[in-house]
Amino acid sequence: MSDLEYGIQDCRLVLEDGTIFHGRGFGSSVNPVTVAGEVVFNTAMCGYQECLSDPSYLGQILVMTAPMIGNYGTCTLDVESEGPAVSGFAVRELSRMHSNYRSDSSLDQWLARGGVPAIEGIDTRALVRRLRSAGVMRGVISSDSSIGNEQLVSLAGSAEQMAGKNLAAEASSMRSEQWNDGLDGWCRPSPLQVDDVKPLKVLAIDCGAKRAIYRHLVDRGCDVRIVPHDITASDIRAAEPDGLFISNGPGDPSAVQETIAVLAEVAGEFPTFGICLGHQLLALAIGASTWKLKFGHRGANQPVRNLMNNQVEITSQNHGFCVDEEALESAGGTPTHRHLNDGTIAGFRHLTKPIFSVQYHPEASPGPHDSSYLFDCFIQMMRTGQPLSPGLLEEIATSGGLKQDPEPV
């Protein structure tokens, strides 16, 4: 039986430059609705539910380049946040059926419950080529036939720009809470376990984190405490953590001034690790700068070179901003990883402080686990309290991560 009665509602995706794509609505688009957002694309072949529930996509309309989406449905256990985080969703073809023993809902039903309008039946190759050539644009998805094309173009052009938006404040947890869930059976467990009697205490500043990050830390035996993005320096010190983690999240990093100011005061006072937006915030906190990419890096197949051992890692990425290399080196940082598609910085460490970060997602979800050793680098930095040395980074990366400490004889 079909999960979706096709053709119920005509739908349009309209870009601010006047480009119009006609398709069929699903999700909440089966009712007349119009939403705006920055239109971006992701090149992952699977993992659509993890992408859709990634808070880093807040305020964006996500386009998947894979030709068919939805064939395995959705599973409650696989979400990276409370539900869909995107403003809208666009695909070439929505699968008419879903089949997976873990599935508890179709993609169409899940998006409808989450209030996310979606469109299928459009030429996503043409759309992605347009975004690749002209850069990301604002756009609207509309299933409201009473709104004309010219008005939709105007709505797209008047939508808020991503630059200058502090979306981390919207995506952040509003309260402090403990995280206890580790990796499930679908992930390879870490060989490393820290002391169960006195686990390393990690204070995680939540700017819109993916849950898989916390699972990797818990799986390594860490005591993970999630705190809001606007936590004060005095509250961080009062918590006496062994390490400070800065999460991924949406929006323009330079707009998250409150968090940057706090990190400028405490980053390096405790061993500090950042991912994605956290990477950018740490760079800004030490005095570097960021800039907006033309169309960003979004996908589970992004090649990165580890500059410490010269090995290539296939990584999962989702960002539209990047750290300026010259400014980073002037601020006391040095690159550790480089994106091979365009040469931009994909990771850095501080030369004198225990601070390091990466622009991509070592937890993957979705994507490969080539870079999961970075969590072990954080563990080792918390153990020693020392800056991450090139030799240690190379050793851990080459061996695939720290190993379990041998039991005393």
Domains contained in the chain, CATH given? 10-158 (3.50.30.20), 168-399 (3.40.50.880)
Q: In this structure, what token pair is assigned to residue 87?
A: 């403003």
3-state secondary structure string, the chain? CCCCCCCCCEEEEEECCCCEEEEEEEEHHHCCCEEEEEEEEECCCCCHHHHHCCHHHCCEEEEECCCEECCCCECHHHCCCCCCCCCEEEECEECCCCCCCCCCECHHHHHHHCCCEEEECCCHHHHHHHHHHHCCEEEEEECCCCCCHHHHHHHHHHCCCCCCCCCHHHHCCCCCEEECCCCCCCCCCCCCCCCCCCCCEEEEEECCCCHHHHHHHHHCCCEEEEEECCCCHHHHHHHCCCEEEECCCCCCHHHCHHHHHHHHHHECCECEEEECHHHHHHHHHCCCCEEEEEEEEEEEEEEEEECCCCCEEEEEEEEEEEECHHHHHHCCEEEEEEECCCCCEEEEEECCCCEEEECCECCCCCCCCCCCHHHHHHHHHHHHCCCCCHHHHHHHHHHCCCCCCCCCC
Q: Write out pLDDT tens, residues 366-390.
A: 999 999 999 999 999 999 999 988 8
364: left (phi over 0), alpha (psi -120 to 50) or beta: left
Cα 150–Cα 155–Cα 156 angle in degrees, nearest 5: 100
Band of residue 182 on the pLDDT scale cut at 50, 70, 90: confident
Structure tokens of 34?
């119009």
Q: Nearest Cα to 208, choosing from 160, 301, 276?
A: 276
- Give the separation between CA 45 and CA 92, rounded to whole angstroms: 13
Burial 256-276 (b: 16+ CB within 10 A, else e): beebbebbbebbbebbbbbbb
Q: What is the pLDDT of residue 185?
A: 60
The CA-CA-CA angle for residues 338, 339, 345, to 5°, reads: 50
Instruction: Spell out the residues 6+ positions from residue 150 whose beta carbon is closer than 8 angstroms to its own.
Output: none
Mean pLDDT of 97-105: 95
CA dihedral sign of residues 8, 13, 19, 23: negative
- State pLDDT tens for residues 284-300: 999 999 999 999 999 99
Cβ atoms of 350 and 268 within 8 Å: the answer is: yes
Cα 267 from Cα 264, distance rounded (Å)? 6
Quote the percentage of the chain above a pLDDT of 90.
86
Give the pLDDT mean for 262-266: 98
Main-chain dihedrals φ then ψ at residue 261, nearest 5 degrees = -65, -40
Task: Report how far residue 108's alpha carbon sits from residue 95's, in angstroms, rounded to the nearest whole number.
Answer: 9
C-beta separation of 28 from 116 below 8 A: yes
Min mean pLDDT across 76-80, 136-140, 225-229 is at 76-80
In the structure, what pLDDT confidence band is assigned to residue 196 with cuts at 50, 70 and 90? low
Catalytic residues: 276, 361, 363
339's CB contacts (< 8 A; 6+ apart) are 297, 302, 303, 304, 345, 346, 359
Pairing of strands 223-228, 201-206: parallel
Q: Are strands 223-228 and 345-350 parallel, antiparallel or unpaired?
A: unpaired
Mean pLDDT, residues 188-214 = 80
236 vs 71, 283, 286, 316, CA distance in Å? 44, 19, 18, 30
Task: State the chain's mean pLDDT as an integer.
Answer: 92
What's the confidence (pLDDT) of residue 282? 99
Contact status, residue 58 vs residue 171, Cβ threshold 8 Å: yes
Q: Which two tokens stand for residue 93?
A: 């073809």
- Indicate the pTM of the whole model: 0.93
Please write the tens of the pLDDT for every residue from 311-330: 999 999 999 999 999 999 99
pLDDT in tens, 30-41: 889 999 999 999
